[in-house]
Structure 1
Amino acid sequence: MLCVIVPLCALFTITQQVTPRDRCVCELANSEQPFPHDKLSIVEDNASKCNNKITSQKTLELESLMLGLERRLPQLQEDVSMLEKEDDGELYGVLSLHVIENEMKDIQVLIDRLNSTTLGHQRITTETAELLEDLKAEMEELEKFDTMHVVKRQQANLRLTRDLDTCRNGLHPTIQPTEPQHGNCPHGLFGNVTGPRVYTAGEYPGSYKYGAWGRDPKPEAGMESWYWLVMLTSSNKYSHYVRLYSSLSSLIVGVSVPGNIQIHSSNPTTNTIQGPNVVLYAGALYYNCYNLDAVCRFNLTTKTVTTLQLPKGTRYNSKGNFCHLEECYLFTDLDLATDESGVWVIYTTTQDFGNLVLSKVEDGEPPTLGQTWRTSVYKQGVTNTFMICGVLYATRYVSSEVEEIFYSFDTATGKEKFNLGIFIKKMSSNIESLNYSPVDHMLHAYCDSYMVSYKVLFE
C-alpha cells in the first residue's frame, strides 16, 4: 500500500491510497474554521440600519431650524426696542404688542420643533454609537477569517481611490476669469457656490414636485425679510396663487400669515401660472401665461394682470423645455430671472433653432421687451438658468448628486464661456427652478418639492 500526503495551500490535507483494485480515495480535512455567513448577514443588516438612521437630511433639518431661529431673534429684539420708544397713546402700542405676540408664537413653534428634533437626534446618536461599537467588534472577529488578506488589500485600494479623487478634484478648481464678466457688478466676479445653507420641506412636505421660491429683490416697505412660494398644484403644470411668509423661519415651520394670494379662483384658466419658472420683483409676480407665448405680471397689491407678448416663433406649451439625458422638465419653455437690474426672460424660438434667447423685461404699464441677446447654447441641453449682474448662467445635469454651472453669457461684452466648472451639491435628483436673489446673494432652488438655498461667493 502506497501512501502520499500532499499539502494544498496549507488548507487541506490530501491522502491518496491505492487499493489492490486500483481505486483512488481522497480524504479532505479542512484545517480552517468554517466562515460564519449568518453572522456576516447580521452585520450587513445592522450597517443598513445605521445608514437609514443617520442621513444628511436630518442634519440639514437641524441647521435650517437653527438658522431660522438665528434670524428671527434679532427681528424680535428690534420690534421690542421700537415698542419701548412708542409713547403716543394706545393705538400704536397695541399694534406693536400684537406684532410681537405673533412673532413670539412663531419663535415658540420654532423652538418646540428644534427641541423635539434635538432630542430625537440625541437618541439616534446614542443608539447608533452603541450599534457601531458592536459592528466594529464583530467586523474585527470576521477579519480573522481573512487569511489571504483580501479585505486589507480592498481597504488599501479604497484609500488610494479616495486620495486619487481628492487629487483629481484639487487639480480642477473653479476657473479664474481672465477679465471681468460684467463691468457694473458691485460684488466682484462670481466665483463659486457653497451650501446648501437651507434645506426644508416647508408647509407641504413631499406634496408638490414642481415650484419656485425666493425673495423679492425690490420689496415693498415693511416686506424686506419676506419670502414667497409658488407650487404647481395641478398636474405639476399649473398654479393660480402665491404664498407669502414674513421670514425664513415662518417658511420653514409653514406659517403663512397672508395665506394664498389668488390670481384666479380656478385653475387652470386665463392668467394661470404655467410652469415652475416664476419670480417676484417689486411686489409683482412674473410667470409664463397659461397657454400663451407671453409673460404675465400679477400685481399682488392691485390684483391686476398685465401681459408681455414674446416674439413670433417663441416655443411654448412644453415644446422648448429644459432637459437632460434622462428627463425634460415640463412647461419650462420660459424661464424668468431676477438680478440687481430687474427682471429677465430666457426662452427659445424656431428661428433660433432651439438656442437660448435672453431678453430684458422693462418695467411699465404694460411691461415691454427690452434689448435681446442670442446665444449659441442649445436650450434642451440645459437644465436651468439664472442671472447675476447682467450675466446669464446655465446649468446642466451631471448626476443625481451634482449639477454643474457650465456656461455664461455676458450681456455687456457678448462673450460666451462653456467651461466654468462650478458644481452644486444637490439634495435631490432634479432642480425644477433656480433663481438668484441679490438681496442675500443666495441661489434659491426648488428640488422635487424641497426648498434649498446656496450661498453665492464673489471674488
Structure 2
Amino acid sequence: MLSTLFLLLPVISPTLAWIPVQDWGSGNVTSSVGSLGECVCHVYLPDTTFPADRVQHMQQISKDLIQEVQIQMNKIKTYEIKLEIYLGELKKLLDRVTILGSSADDYIKLDFELLRIELREFESLVSQLKDAFNSSSPMFDSLYTEIRNMTLIVNTLESYDKSNLQVIRIEFVKLQKKLEECQKEQEFLKPDIGNCNHTGIMRLSKPMVSQLNSHLQTSYIYGGWGKDSKPAKGSESTYFYSGSSSTLTTQFYFYPDYKHLLLMSTSSSLDIPPSYRGYGNNYIVRGNSIYYQRYSPFSMGKYNLTSKLYDSRVIPTATTAFSYSYSNNQNMDFAADEKGLWVMYASEESKGKLVIAKIDEKGFGIENVWNTAAYKQMTGNAFMACGVMYATRSVDLNTEEIYYSFDTKSGEEKHLNIRFPKFQENYSSLDYNPTDQLLYMYSNGYYVSYHVRFNTA
C-alpha cells in the first residue's frame, strides 16, 4: 500500500508531528522535492488486512459437514429399522414357502405377484444400504445378485413344479443368511459398550479423519486428543486436545462437544506450570483428571481438573532409555479401558520389553505388574482394551498392524496380524476409549479415529 503525504513547508502536519519519521523504518519512507518546491513524502504501509472472509468460509464449511454427518447418521438409523422389518418379513415368507412344500393342495395359495413385489422391496433396500454406506462391499453385491436370482425363479415357478418350489425354499434360506450377515455388518457401527464377553479385537475400521489440529499447524506433529474415559455426569461429550512442535507437554484445551472441537470455539485451556511439565504424548483424561509423563522428576503426573491439584508418583524401575519407534520421549504410556487405569513402560530389568502396570486410581499407586514379550523400540504404540494390551508396528508407509497382545487376566500372549490403513506414515499417540469403543490417533497434526470391532463369535 502506497500513501503519499504532501507537506507544504513551513506548515507541518499535526499527525506527522506525533510520529517520528525514524520510527517508520528507513525502508518504508522516502522523500523528494516537487515541481513547486514542496516536500513530498512517500510512506509504504504493509497490508495487514485480516482474512475474515476466509475464516467465515471455513466455519461455514465445517457447519455444513457436521450437518451432512448428522443426516447420514439418521439415514443409517432409518435403514437399520427397515432392515429389521424386512428380515422379519423374510422369515414369514420362508415359513409360507415351507408350508407349501408339505401339501400340494396349498400350492394355489402362493401369490406369485406378491412374492415379486416383496423381492423388489428387498432389492430396493439393498441399493439404499449400499448408497448409504458408500460401499462397494462384495457382501452387498452378492446379496443383490441373490435377490435377482430369486426374482427369476419366482417368474418361472408358476408352472406348478414342486421341484421348483423346493429350489425357491433353498434360495430363501440363502437370502435370509445374506440379510443376517448384512445386519451383523451394520452392528459394527453399533458398539456394545462395556461388554468384554469376546475373544479380542477382530479388526479396525478405515481411518476417520476429523481435521487438522486446533492450532491449524502442520508443524504440530506431536500431541493427542480424545475423550474422558470415565466422564463425570454432564461431561460425557467433552473432548481434549494438546499439540506442539516438540514432545514437551505444556498446555491442554477442552471443548464441550465434538462440534466445538471442529469449530475450535468455546474452549477452556490449562497451562501446566514449569515445575510440573511433562514429556511425551501418551497422556489421557480419566475421571476428570489428566494423567501424563512428568519431566522432572521422571514420574507419573496427575492433574485433577476439579480440585486444581497436581500429584506425581515415581515408578522406580521405569526408565527413559526406551521409547516407541515413531518418536522420542514416549516412555510412559497411559491407557484406560473397561477394567480401569493403566501405564505401560520399559525397564532395564525387562531389557526394553513393555511392562504393564495397573494403577490404583484412588491412591495413585501401582497395584500389579505384568511383563510382556513386546520390545518397545520395535513398537509404534500400544493401548489397552478389556484388560488386554495390544501393541502395533509399521508394515509399510500406508499400513499398520496390531502384532501382539497380552491378557492381564489369563497371562496369555498372542502374535497377531490385524492390519489397518494409516492416514499418514507416523503418529505420536494411540488410545482406546471404552465409552465409545474408538481408537483415537494423533497423526502428524491430524485428528484420526477408528471403530474397533471385537470377535464375539
TM-score bracket for this pair, using the shorter chain length: 0.5 to 0.7
Asked whether the 8 Å contact 2:223–2:247 carries over to 1, the reply is no
Structure 1 residues 363 and 64, CA gap change in structure 2 (3 angstroms): farther
Structure 1 residues 425 and 61, CA gap change in structure 2 (3 angstroms): farther
Residue 336 (1) aligns with residue 346 (2): no
Task: Give the structure 1 partner of residue 283 of structure 2.
Answer: 278
Q: Give me the TM-score of the superposition, normalised by structure 1.
A: 0.56
| Cα-to-partner distance string for 1:262-306 (whole Å, 9 max, x where unaligned) | 222xxxx21112111110000000000013331111111222111
Task: Give the structure 1 partner of residue 424 of structure 2.
Answer: 428
Task: Give the structure 2 partner of residue 126 of structure 1.
Answer: none
Alignment of 1:129-144 (within 5 A): none
| Cα-to-partner distance string for 1:245-278 (whole Å, 9 max, x where unaligned) | 11112111212x24212222xxxx2111211111
Once the 2 structures are TM-superposed, how far is the Cα of residue 236 of structure 1 from its aligned partner?
0.9
Task: Give the structure 1 partner of residue 268 of structure 2.
Answer: 259
Name the SS for the 1:236 alignment partner. Answer: coil
Alignment of 1:171-182 (within 5 A): none
Alignment of 1:109-120 (within 5 A): none
Name the SS for the 2:275 alignment partner. Answer: coil
Name structure 2 gaps, 5 residues minimum: 1-60, 75-193
Which is greater in Rg? 2
Task: Give the structure 2 partner of residue 438 of structure 1.
Answer: 434
Structure 1 residues 293 and 66, CA gap change in structure 2 (3 angstroms): same
210, 230, 236: which one aligns with 1:224: 236
| Cα-to-partner distance string for 1:17-58 (whole Å, 9 max, x where unaligned) | xxxxxxxxxxxxxxxxxxxxxxxxxxxxxxxxxxxxxxxxxx
Task: Give the structure 1 partner of residue 9 of structure 2.
Answer: none
Task: Give the structure 1 partner of residue 247 of structure 2.
Answer: 237
Q: Give me the TM-score of the superposition, normalised by structure 2.
A: 0.57
Separation in 2, partners of 1:276, 1:190? 24
Name structure 1 gaps, 5 residues minimum: 1-59, 74-182
Task: Give the structure 2 partner of residue 200 of structure 1.
Answer: 211
Alignment of 1:84-233 (within 5 A): 185-186=196-197, 189-205=200-216, 206-231=218-243, 233=244
Task: Give the structure 2 partner of residue 348 of structure 1.
Answer: 346
Task: Give the structure 1 partner of residue 92 of structure 2.
Answer: none
Task: Give the structure 2 partner of residue 411 of structure 1.
Answer: 408
Residue 320 (1) aligns with residue 322 (2): yes
After superposing on structure 2, the runs of 4+ consecutive aligned residues of structure 1 that deviate more than 4 Å are 60-64, 66-73
**What amino acid sits opposite 2:380 in the alignment?**
T
Separation in 1, partners of 2:420, 2:267? 33
Structure 1 residues 66 and 446, CA gap change in structure 2 (3 angstroms): farther
Separation in 2, partners of 1:397, 1:291? 31
Asked whether the 8 Å contact 1:64–1:252 carries over to 2, the reply is no
| Cα-to-partner distance string for 1:64-101 (whole Å, 9 max, x where unaligned) | 6457656999xxxxxxxxxxxxxxxxxxxxxxxxxxxx
Separation in 2, partners of 1:70, 1:240? 38
Name the SS for the 2:431 alignment partner. Answer: strand
Asked whether the 8 Å contact 2:203–2:418 carries over to 1, the reply is yes
Identity of aligned residues (%): 32
Residue 302 (1) aligns with residue 299 (2): no
| Cα-to-partner distance string for 1:127-173 (whole Å, 9 max, x where unaligned) | xxxxxxxxxxxxxxxxxxxxxxxxxxxxxxxxxxxxxxxxxxxxxxx
Asked whether the 8 Å contact 1:68–1:252 carries over to 2, the reply is no
Separation in 2, partners of 1:387, 1:188? 14
Separation in 1, partners of 2:333, 2:67? 32
Separation in 2, partners of 1:331, 1:295? 14
Aligned length: 275
Separation in 2, partners of 1:417, 1:244? 37
244, 247, 250: which one aligns with 2:260: 250
Separation in 2, partners of 1:223, 1:195? 28
